[in-house]
Structure 1
Amino acid sequence: MLGRASVLVKPNQLETWDVKVADPEPGGALVSIVLGGVCGSDVHILTGEAGVMPFPIILGHEGVGRIEKLGHGVSTDYAGEELKPGDLVYWSPIALCHRCYSCNVLDETPCENTQFFEDASKPNWGSYADYAWLPNGMPFYKLPAQAQPEAVAALGCALPTALRGFDRCGSVRVGETVVVQGAGPVGLSAVLVAAQAGARDVIVIDGSPLRREAATALGASLTIGLDVAPEERRRMIYDRVGRNGPNVVIEAAGVLPAFPEGVDLTGNHGRYIVLGLWGAIGTQPISPRDLTIKNLTIAGATFPKPKHYYQALHLATALQDRVPLAGLVSHRFGVSQAGEALSLTKSGTAIKAVIDPTIT
């Protein structure tokens, strides 16, 4: 059996291939893609900004899929829920080795032997495709019966990333003030989690009116456009939250100049959590003295653990009727239209684009 897949042959060269669909290995699963999320990091991978990849690769690391076949010995998901063909699942796309120091001593991701991509000609878990082949050891979780696939896909890997960031760097406490730089999916996820945690103010900086509107719908109390100069943005924020400044600032912009601004914005005794600068390779100057005189903590997080995907799935399901999560999916594209989806994501026009294999 053959299926279509969007293959990145080299930077900026995307092709649609017919690839062989393999039966699952023992302990694994074969799923048909229902929705494959388009992530900002895919844009960095496409352009080469994220570094050299093991080309050719099938793009897509966010997915909701339907179980087609279960490998030998598989009768439940990775949370012990009974599973059968036809059930919908959501998976953690990082292939961990489970036999290294990071996996078994530190309990951290990624591990020393993490595999992010497989050669496009081999069984593959990329989600810009008709099918995804989930190897033994790649955790996947069954969607609750009432879960809306769009609500789960809307924040794809972004909600697990935000949960990972707060887990590693300190959660938002009731009454704290929060600033989020960027209102792409990671920023919107941070807004959602901060608002649900009881933050007194959640302030968002983003250049897109559409994304600022989405941030408000998820719980932002104030949004500021990039047409406002940085010094004026700072004044507006400090006027609102008080002279001590924000308790928490979250970088979710994915652009290097956000970093020094974020350090400057973070208030006394505050935390600056860096989540979006995975793909933007480079440096930016900051004043080390600021870290001392403001008693500042700067921390970063990347590559959510499997538990963060499980938490994200159930948080999205719990909130889907109260918060317009499914409505964040603004654009759908077929497998052969992945280039258009990435272009729209890069431009910031889309709140969330997804690959829908039913579109031809």
Structure 2
Amino acid sequence: MGTKGKVIKCKAAIAWEANKPLCIEEVEVAPPKAHEVRIQIIATALCHSDAHILHPKFTKALFPVILGHEGAGIVESVGPGVTNCKPGDKVIPLYMPQCKKCKFCLSPLTNFCAKLSQFKDPIIQQEVMEDKTSRFTCKGKPVYHFLGTSTFSQYTVVSDTNLAKIDDDANLERVCLLGCGFSTGYGAAINTAKVTPGSTCAIFGLGGVGLSALIGCKVAGASRIIAVDINSEKFAKAKALGATDCLNPRDLQKPVQEVIIDMTGGGVDFALDCAGGSEAMKAALDCTTVGWGSCTLIGVAIGDKGLTVSPIEILMGRTINGTLFGGCKGRDSIPKLVTDYKNKKFNLDALVTHTLPFDKINEAFDLMHQGKSIRTVLTF
């Protein structure tokens, strides 16, 4: 391509400071260095983790920054040493790297990578490239990366360990959801919780991740799926995707976990918390059956006090799991999920409630905060 080795000027949404709208700016994107790939982003969706960084209580974030981690695009150019993709390939950037060499990548027990495991908080790491510099410049100043992806830019640069090459005929406006939300929820049910045929499940939080977990439970063969959310407007979509029961804790006369225990004769086999927050996490754990109940924690709430657990709750045979990116080893798992979507194993279309031009990114954030969207896809 004519842009290879050259700085590309394009538009990006920059967060200059916390608690303020993003600004559409012209940025300069440097060419990729060794083991780096420059990608033209075609479509990107919003995730609550992007909003977390902008929250005034989240004090760890560095500004200015280009957010975004749920995107899909086309390789524009590659740096020296890159062998897993070439210009013109369709790819999905990954916030969970997979080097395929470290003890974590070589283990079937986890989807972690040594490049990520050194950080205590994966939401704020990967702010610069491995040489400790940024590939973004705006108004003469360097701009931080986000999660190693920064998909809120028409062009971005990622490590070759942070992208998955996918089929040439993939619909980028849909498979971009595999960059985080769908893979996280669906994978939590399939890979982490390992939901079994005929089992009973409860899902807390019916955003993009929660509905994806619901899809995972349905695909796994669960016989009963109880969907829980404080926004009853989400129940129609949940039932269309396979929920057998829907509960709004604000409409109940007693705690939702007690209602679920009564409904299931002692509790569900699997509970997945996709909402975050101490109350939702505790309810998810409490609604599982003694003996073998499994509670998987997925959601994160800013400023939350965490989960307080009595040892007896675990001694009674319950387990608590945690998962990032749904246990998916990105470079291996995501191409397979793209193929599954093409073969209609699951429906990503149902999760996309809005499609907007990239310039309307702040409108997309408003829709998310107002609970009016599940996933908004932005196109350049």
Confirm whether residue 112 of structure 1 aligns to residue 112 of structure 2: no
1:9 match: 16
What secondary structure does 2:50 align onto?
A: helix
Name 1:158's counterpart in structure 2. Answer: 181
| TM-aligned CA deviation for residue 116 of structure 1 | 2.7
| Alignment coverage as a number of residue pairs | 348
Q: Alpha-carbon deviation of 1:183? A: 0.8
Pick one of 294, 297, 311 that aligns with 1:274.
297
Q: Aligned letter for 1:349?
A: K
SS at match of 2:13: strand
Residue in structure 1 matched with residue 238 of structure 2 by the alignment? 215
Q: Give yes or no for contact 1:256–1:280 (8 Å, CA) kept in 2.
A: no
Aligned to 1:149: 172
User: Unaligned 5+ residue runs, structure 1?
Assistant: 78-82
1:179 Cα offset (Å): 0.4
With the length of structure 1 as denominator, give the TM-score of the two structures. 0.84
Partner of 2:158: 134
1:11, distance to aligned residue in structure 2 (A):
1.2
Q: Is the 8 A contact 1:151 1:316 kept in 2?
A: no
Measured against aligned partners, the alpha-carbon deviations of 1:292-326 in whole angstroms (never above 9, x if no partner) come to 3x321112122556624643453354245464422
Are residue 45 (structure 1) and residue 45 (structure 2) matched? no
Instruction: Kindly indicate whether the alpha-carbon contact (under 8 Å) linking 1:278 and 1:302 is maintained by their aligned counterparts in 2.
Output: no
Is structure 2 residue 252 aligned with structure 1 residue 245?
Answer: no
* 1:280 CA displacement: 4.7
Once the two structures are TM-superposed, the CA of residue 331 in structure 1 deviates from its matched residue by 1.8
Which amino acid in structure 2 is aligned with residue 340 of structure 1? E
* Partners of 2:18 and 2:56 within 8 A in 1: yes
> Higher relative contact order by CA 8 Å / sep ≥ 6: 1 or 2?
1
- Paired residue type of 2:117: C
- From 226, 235, 238, the equivalent of 1:203 is 226
Structure 2 length as normaliser, TM-score? 0.80
CA change 1:62–1:221 in 2 (3 A) is: same
Pairing of 1:28-177 with structure 2 (within 5 A): 28-74=36-82, 76-77=84-85, 83-85=86-88, 87-94=89-96, 108-109=112-113, 110-112=116-118, 115-118=125-128, 120-121=136-137, 122=142, 124=145, 125-145=149-169, 147-154=170-177, 156-162=179-185, 165-166=188-189, 169-177=192-200
Residue 228 in structure 1 maps to residue 251 in structure 2: yes
Once the two structures are TM-superposed, the CA of residue 202 in structure 1 deviates from its matched residue by 1.3
CA contact (8 A) 2:84 2:160 kept: no
1:263 pairs with 2:285 = yes
Q: What's the CA shift for 1:180? A: 0.3
Change (3 A) 1:306 1:260: closer
Q: Which amino acid aligns with 2:321?
A: A
Please name the residue that 2:32 is paired with.
24
Task: Map 1:279-358 to 2 at 5 A.
Answer: 279-292=302-315, 294-303=316-325, 307-308=329-330, 310-319=332-341, 321=344, 323-357=346-380
Amino acid at match of 2:33: E
Change (3 A) 1:322 1:93: closer
CA distance in 2, matches of 1:219, 1:198: 10
Structure 2, unmatched stretches of 5+, are: 1-7, 129-133
Contact (CA 8 Å) 1:158, 1:186: kept in 2 or not? Answer: yes
